[in-house]
Structure 1
């Protein structure tokens, strides 16, 4: 898992589709879903950590773009 599309694909695999008009809201919902999948022992620790890292990096990137 090394890009946002991998997270979208992972969530789709488990029937979760997140597309709203609010990009930050999407990222928050995706993080919640990833946490729930981990709690349900569906994801291993490596995928869980990488997904959270990617989501937070994307949120930071969006925040920087917004502040330009």
Structure 2
């Protein structure tokens, strides 16, 4: 798992489709859904941490673009 697309595909495996309309909001909602999957023990810790790190990275990128 290397990209935001990979995280989206992970969520889709559980029937979770995220599209709010603004990328940063999509990332935040994906983070919430990812945490719920982990807490429900539907994904392992390694998968959770990889996906979470991708979402954190993408969120930072979106925040930096918003500052310009």
Compute the TM-score of the two structures, normalised by the length of structure 2.
0.92
| Structure 1 residues 21-66: Cα deviation after superposition (integer angstroms, max 9, x where no partner) | 1222111110011001001111111110111110010010011111
The residue number in structure 1 matching 2:26 is: 26
The number of residue pairs the alignment matches comes to 68
Structure 2: gaps spanning 5 or more residues: none
1:41 counterpart residue number: 41
Unmatched tracts of structure 1, length 5 or more: none
TM-score w.r.t. structure 1 length?
0.92
How far, CA to CA, are the matches of 2:21 and 2:29 in structure 1?
Answer: 13
Q: How far, CA to CA, are the matches of 1:37 and 1:20 in structure 2?
A: 19
- In the TM superposition, structure 1's runs of 4+ consecutive aligned residues that sit over 2 Å from their partners are none
Q: Distance in 2 between matches of 1:22 and 1:3?
A: 18
